[in-house]
Amino acid sequence: MIIIIGVIIGGVAGFLYWKFVGCASGTCAITSIWYRATLYGMIIGGLLADILKDYIK
């Protein structure tokens, strides 16, 4: 359950990063397209939640 929450939070964070920071030139590999930034955020959020789940219990 913790990992799913981390994936959701990471996806929202990735999307918000694309929306408000993004890439002005359009040549950024991750943040130039919204779904890449969201997917990357989901992966990082899931990995961080997996690491933190041992400390939360």
Tens digit of pLDDT for each residue in 4-39?
Answer: 999 999 999 999 998 888 887 777 877 788 899 999
pLDDT of residue 57 exceeding 80, the answer is no
CA dist 14 and 28 (Å) reads: 14
CA distance 54 to 49: 9
User: What single letter denotes the amino acid at residue 45?
Assistant: G
Query: In this structure, which amino acid lies at residue 39?
Result: L
pLDDT of residue 15: 93
Predicted TM-score (pTM) of this structure: 0.83
Chain-centre distance for alpha carbon 14? 4
